[in-house]
Chain A
Amino acid sequence: MDMALPVVNATAAVFARVSAAFNAPLARAVVFGVHIDGHLVVEGLLIAVIVFQLSRKSYKPPKKPLTEKEIDELCDEWEPEPLCPPIKEGARIDTPMLESAAGPHTIVDGKEVVNFASANYLGLIGNEKIIDSCIGSLEKYGVGSCGPRGFYGTIDVHLDCESKIANFLGTPDSILYSYGISTIFSVIPAFCKKGDIIVADEGVHWAVQNGLHLSRSTVVYFKHNDMASLASTLEKLTRGNKRAEKIRRYIVVESIYQNSGQIAPLDEIVRLKEKYRFRVILEESHSFGVLGKSGRGLAEHYGVPIEKIDIITAGMGNALATDGGFCSGSVRVVDHQRLSSSGYVFSASLPPYLASAAVSAVNYLEENPSVLANLRSNIALLHKKLSDTPGLEISSHVLSPIVFLKLNKSTGSPTTDLDLLETIADKVLKEDSVFIVTSKKSNLDRCKLPLGIRLFVSAGHTESDISRLSSSLKRVSASVLSDY
């Protein structure tokens, strides 16, 4: 308390002196008859300094755009790469030429061979009823449909085909596409947009990869057909992620993988999907018409109700021996594609004779379910006969109609592996007249699964065909792979 009073007195004294100084008129400062007070001078100087600083230009490094002459020089100097790189030595460009229908027995390059290269699983190539229905269609509608679906390209056979497939599968509705691989790479971008999450198997084929790339969503791959990896990926993506509720999430798998012949365990996938609330897009190109008691696909095979799978797509170029593809699901799913799927809206529709071939093929499958039993016994027989092939082992599932043979021991480089396999295939064709093929890969494909020999088994193959194939393969692989 004692110290406060002197401080207060001192501050008051300072204030009094300062205000006196400010208010004292300066005798000589009279400009144009106006008295200038002291504080006005200080304020005036301050304002003058501020205005001076503001009026100075700030320093920016000067921008010098290129002159026309410089652009001309740059354009002259620039050399583009050639449009295509030079072809590597020994690259195989010529393919065998078929001279008859691609059934179980066909004529390749002039001689008759047993054909294990066509995915003709139900043996429908050359079927009389299908050919008759195609002829009827051709005479009535011509070949092409001359327009996209929105502009008079919808022919009544398309609508019949869509309802037939939906009835067969047991789904509310389905939509037809005009080409097998365009189905999946139009469906995925129609539903998945930027910001969505997709969990896909790393062994999916190129068309699925292209669809994933075009969708611009975040894609996370899990180990090929490994459910533990899938579960941990799903867990990682949804744990603690509140935002995950609002964005769309999809799992993309194939039923029978083209690149390896494995079958996806659908019951496990559906269980995971319901736990983590993802939607499933199932690509059934090679299992439609093959798996299941009556050929209705993977869902029937595992006994999963078809409503649990959100989107099913398939190409019809395999079991149904025609071309094109379809996508099936709930009414909402199918209707959405009619306006936002680019392969449907911006492309001409399926030729009508192929749609009527599809209808006849499904009718045939419904009336003759025994053809599935033939197919299954052929696959089992082939597995038994090829189980002891020297140097090659079967790496596909026991029920898969694509029997995948890969080298027991890889040589270390994929190109030498492929060379060996191609040599085996060529020799089998030339020496024993059995037509087999290796799996081929484009350099745009990012799947890293090993290559091998793919055998497509058909219900039209007989026991003698299969014996011929197995004895030929054993002999040729023994001779070619004896050094490795």
Chain B
Amino acid sequence: MVRLPYVTALTTLFSYGLLFAFGQLRDFFRRILDARKPSNLKGYAPICLGLEDFYTRRLYLRIQDCFGRPIASAPDAWFDVVERYSNDCNKTLHRTTATTKCLNLGSYNYLGFAAADEYCTPRVIESLKKYSASTCSVRVDGGNTKLHTELEELVARFVGKPAAILFGMGYVTNSAIIPALVGKGGLIISDSLNHNSIVNGARGSGATVRVFQHNNPAHLEEVLREQIAGGQPRTHRPWKKIIVIVEGIYSMEGELCKLPGVISVCKKYKAYTYLDEAHSIGAIGKTGRGVCELLGVDPADVDIMMGTFTKSFGSCGGYIAASNEIIQHLKLTCPAHIYATSMSPPAVQQVISAIKVILGEDGTNRGAKKLSQIRENSNFFRLELQKMGFEVLGDNDSPVMPIMLYNPAKIPAFSRECLRQNVAVVTVAFPATPLLLARARICISASHSREDLIKGLEVISKVGDLVGIKYFPVEQEKTTAVDKLKKIQ
């Protein structure tokens, strides 16, 4: 939970108010100046009216250089960030050919498969030569290769469900599956902090959508009771079916879902559960099987398990694992299966090889080493950050850790200062997070070594002092690992 100090809230509101006032002033002068210029769009309404893109023009563009930084190498533990410059106060940015080598604390590379891997890459290149980069066809027509069938069986075995189906993009998986499962007359209850793809899928399905408080099974129970008793809006007919959608790890909070509580509530009220494991599959759990393994939930209790291959497996695409009947039904009706180009064969091979490494079927124990490495790294990093006095969110064992910034001015300050010291971090502001709760999000990888993490901690500590985000100052006796190392040296 976020504990926002009172003074910080006031100063943040004041900063946003100031930025808003300045933005309005500039808009006013811009309107006067533009009224003199003739426009060649007579009769066409503008693409964005007035206040619709106010935030983009007046707030986001000022700090545009903190987002969308291009890189020139694989997103591994260290990568090359391309330098950019601007001649007109960040309105347009131009690339240069110069690059700086930085520590990567921002990419979703949980198990270190992002760069060329000794087991995966030769096999990927072989499959590229055999099947070429794309099948140019939808999966039901001529896009189904031997690799796709093999991966579906492997994913089903890995996750612990009878069958699975693949899609070429994680976002499309959610947006196209939810309409195929529930339509008008159904109810979707989703967590208040669910990802945009789930929100889009729920909206596209035509069912009624209700929200329950983030990670609160008691409130979920309340909402379920109220909805079942009340029935559909206005007609009060009973609901056709109810689906509850939660995520394994919430990417902006770093917390794990309270899955056992949610499952028991859903079983009691006969609602179906849909678990989105985009960030947690492959990254947590003793053998990497995700949040079910970590929290001791039987996969048979979750009706539909969804995941993506982008984060832990270093590829692209998504999957759904469920019972045989559901998968067959989806193969017949899901639009993403019938109308979308099938997943690129080299990407499929990358996932097959990555899962084999994780399961140890490649003959080495690299998979187990990676899994224990990421767990150790995440716990070490989180503990050290908390000892330094930062406000860090998220549970233990989760590789995602947001550090709270709050003030809008601290976002570019933190980001640019860290980049100057060769550490690349990701800062997130509105609209991905609530307005007052801007944060910097760290993603730990199994390919980070202990020295990398210590360097990262040093830089973050220095910059944190400069920028003033150590909201919980520590007592003097607690020394951090960094200081201990310095003392030894």
Q: List 8 A-B contacts (CB under 8 A).
A: A83-B272, A87-B328, A93-B331, A143-B120, A156-B95, A323-B341, A353-B133, A437-B142
State how many angstroms separate the Cβ of B452 from the closest Cβ of chain A: 16
Q: Are the CB atoms of A346 and B197 closer together than 8 Å?
A: yes
B241 touches A321 (CB 8 A): no
CA distance A146 to B107 in the complex (A): 6
Query: B229: which A residues are within 8 A, CB to CB?
Result: 66, 70-71, 74-75
Task: Say if the beta carbon of B104 comes within 8 Å of chain A.
Answer: yes
Contact at A179–B68, with CB atoms within 8 Å? no
Contact A95 B139 (CB under 8 A): yes
Which residues on A sit within 8 Å (CB–CB) of B107? 146-147, 151-153
Q: A81-B241, A154-B71, A347-B170 are in contact. Are A139 and B142 (CB under 8 A)?
A: no
- Contact B114 A443, beta carbon cutoff 8 Å: no
B335→A444 contact, CB < 8 A: yes
Q: Is B45's CB under 8 angstroms from A126's CB?
A: no
Q: A152-B79, A178-B316, A442-B335 are in contact. List 16 more A-B contacts (CB 8 A).
A: A75-B225, A80-B239, A83-B272, A97-B149, A98-B135, A125-B133, A138-B128, A142-B74, A142-B121, A143-B113, A146-B109, A152-B106, A179-B341, A321-B136, A323-B344, A346-B195
A138/B124 in contact, CB under 8 A: yes
A residues near B465, Cβ cutoff 8 Å: none
Interface string of B382-400 (1 = CB under 8 A from A): 0000000000000000000
A191: min CB distance to chain B, Å:
6
Task: Given A98-B135, A134-B128, A140-B73, verify A146-B311 contact (CB < 8 Å).
Answer: yes
* In the complex, B108 has a CB within 8 A of chain A: yes
B270 at interface by CB-CB < 8 Å:
yes
Point out the residues of chain A lying under 8 angstroms from B47, CB to CB.
191, 248, 332-333, 336
A180 to B114, CA, bound (A): 23
Whether, in the assembled complex, B482 has its beta carbon less than 8 Å from a beta carbon of chain A, the answer is: no
Q: Report whether B45 and A248 are in contact in the complex, using a CB–CB cutoff of 8 Å.
A: yes
Query: Closest CB of chain B to A370's CB: distance in Å?
Result: 21
Chain B 158-175, CB within 8 Å of chain A: the 1/0 string?
Answer: 000000000011111001
Asked if A247 lies at the interface with its beta carbon under 8 angstroms from chain B, I say: yes
Instruction: State whether B168 touches A323 (Cβ < 8 A).
Output: yes
CB proximity to B under 8 Å, residues A108-126: 108, 115, 117-120, 125-126
Interface size on B, residues (CB 8 A): 117
Q: Is the CB of B71 within 8 A of A143?
A: no
Known A141-B74, A321-B134: A348·B228 in contact at CB below 8 Å? no
Q: A156 near B132 (CB under 8 angstroms)?
A: no
A277 to chain B: closest residue by CB: B43
Q: With A and B bound together, what is the CA distance between A321 and B143 in angstroms? A: 12
Q: Contact between A85 and B339 (Cβ–Cβ < 8 Å)?
A: no
CB distance from B187 to the nearest CB of A (A): 10
Are B125 and A151 within 8 A (Cβ)? no
Q: For residues 87 through 134 of chain B, which have their beta carbon under 8 Å from a beta carbon of chain A?
A: 95, 104, 106-109, 113-117, 120-121, 124-125, 128-134
Answer whether A134 and B75 are a contact pair too, CB < 8 Å, given A99-B146, A154-B68: no
A160 to chain B, nearest CB (A): 10
Give chain B residues whose Cβ lies under 8 Å from the Cβ of A456. Answer: 137
1/0 contact trace for A125-149 toward B, CB 8 Å?
1100011001100111111111101
Among A181, A205, A318, A445, which residue has its beta carbon within 8 angstroms of that of B136? A318
Is B238 at the interface (CB under 8 A from chain A)? yes
User: Which of A45-53, A337-345, A382-390 lies at the interface with chain B?
Assistant: A337-345
Checking B104, B146, B304, B426 against A98 with a beta-carbon cut-off of 8 angstroms, the contacting residue is B146
In the complex, which residues 382-420 of chain B have their Cβ closer than 8 Å to any Cβ of chain A? Answer: none
Task: Spot the interface stretch: A32-40, A206-214, A405-413.
Answer: A206-214
User: Within 8 Å of chain B (Cβ to Cβ): is A261?
Assistant: no
Q: Which of chain A's residues have a CB closer than 8 A to the CB of B271?
A: 80
A144 touches B316 (CB 8 A): yes
Chain A interface helix/strand/loop/mixed: loop
> Which of chain B's residues have a CB closer than 8 A to the CB of A318?
136
Residue from B44, B48, B79, B335 having most chain A Cβ neighbours under 10 A: B335
A182 within 8 A of B: yes
Minimum CB distance partner of B79 in chain A: A152
Task: Verify if A91 is at the interface (C-beta below 8 Å from B).
Answer: yes
The answer to whether B437 has its CB under 8 Å from any CB of chain A is no
**Distance (Å) between the CB of B60 and the closest chain A CB?**
7
Within 64-81 of B, Cβ neighbours of A (below 8 Å) are at: 67-76, 79, 81
Complex formed: what's the CA distance from A339 to B68 in Å? 11
In the complex with contacts A84-B326, A134-B133, A155-B72, A143-B350 CB distance below 8 A: yes
Contact of B73 among A141, A205, A351 (CB under 8 A): A141
- The residues of A that contact B272 with a CB separation of less than 8 Å are 80, 83
Asked if B379 is at the interface of the complex by the 8 Å CB criterion, the answer is no
Contacts of B143 in A (CB 8 A): 98, 102, 118
- Contact B72–A118 (Cβ < 8 Å): no
Most chain B beta-carbon contacts within 10 A, residue among A93, A100, A182, A321: A182
Judge whether A146 and B43 touch: CB under 8 Å: no
A217 vs B117: C-alpha distance when bound (angstroms): 47
Residue of B nearest to A210 (CB): B204
Distance (Å) between the CB of A401 and the closest chain B CB? 12
List chain A residues, Cβ under 8 A from B314. 142-144, 146
Contact between chains at B137 and A118 (CB < 8 Å): yes
Cβ A102 vs Cβ B137 within 8 A: yes
Assess whether B329 is in contact with A247, with CB atoms less than 8 Å apart.
Answer: no
- Residues of A contacting B76 with CB < 8 Å? 142
Chain A residues at the B interface, C-beta cutoff of 8 Å: 66, 70-71, 74-75, 78-81, 83-87, 91, 93, 95-103, 106, 108, 115, 117-120, 125-126, 130-131, 134-135, 138-147, 149-156, 158-159, 178-182, 185, 191, 193, 205-207, 210, 213-214, 245-249, 277, 279, 315, 317-318, 321-323, 332-333, 336, 338-340, 342-343, 345-348, 350-351, 353-354, 357, 435, 437, 440-445, 456
Alpha-carbon separation in the docked complex, A341 to B133 (Å): 26
A154 to chain B, nearest CB (A): 4
Answer yes or no: B82 CB below 8 A from chain A CBs: yes
In the assembled complex, the Cα of A191 lies from the Cα of B43 at a distance in Å of 17
- Chain B residues near A75 (CB-CB < 8 A): 224-225, 228-229, 269
Separation of A74 and B346 alpha carbons in the complex (Å): 52
Is B240's CB within 8 Å of the partner chain A? Answer: yes
Name the contact of B200 in the complex, choosing from A80, A179, A214 (C-beta under 8 A). Answer: A214
- Inter-chain contact B71/A144, CB cutoff 8 Å: no
Decide if B115 touches A125 in the complex (CB within 8 Å).
no
B341→A315 contact, CB < 8 A:
yes
Bound-complex Cα distance A46 to B200 (A): 64
In the complex, what residues of B have CB within 8 A of residue A147's CB?
75, 106-108
CB pair B45–A245 under 8 Å, yes or no, is yes
Cα of A153 to Cα of B340 in the assembled complex, Å: 23
Among B242, B303, B325, B339: residue with most chain A CB under 10 A? B339
User: Residue of B at shortest CB range from A352?
Assistant: B74
- Among residues of A, the one whose C-beta sits closest to the C-beta of B179 is A444
B309 within 8 A of A: yes
Most buried by A among B67, B176, B310: B310
B203 sits at the interface (CB 8 A): yes
Beta-carbon nearest neighbor of B52 in chain A: A193
In the bound complex, CA of A248 to CA of B41 (Å) = 12
CA distance A419 to B429 in the complex (A): 54
Provide the residues of chain A in CB contact with B339, threshold 8 Å.
Answer: 181, 205-207, 442
Q: Is the CB of B71 within 8 A of A139?
A: no
Bound-state Cα–Cα, A93 to B200, Å: 28
Chain B proximity of A329: nearest CB distance (Å): 10
Q: Does B291 belong to the interface (CB within 8 Å)?
A: no
Q: A147–B170 Cα gap in the complex (Å)?
A: 12
B361 interfacial contact with A, CB 8 Å: no
Decide: B136 and A135 in contact? CB cutoff 8 A: no
Q: Please, which residue of chain B has its CB at the minimum distance from the CB of A325?
A: B341
Known: A101-B131, A245-B45, A248-B47. A139 touches B136 (CB 8 A): no
Residues of chain A within 8 A of B134, CB atoms compared:
125, 317, 321-323, 354, 357
Q: Which of A81, A138, A142 contacts B240 (CB 8 A)?
A: A81
Q: Which residue of A lies closest to B325 (CB)?
A: A84
The answer to the question of B338 belonging to the interface, with a C-beta cut-off of 8 Å to chain A, is yes
B108 nearest in chain A by CB position: A146
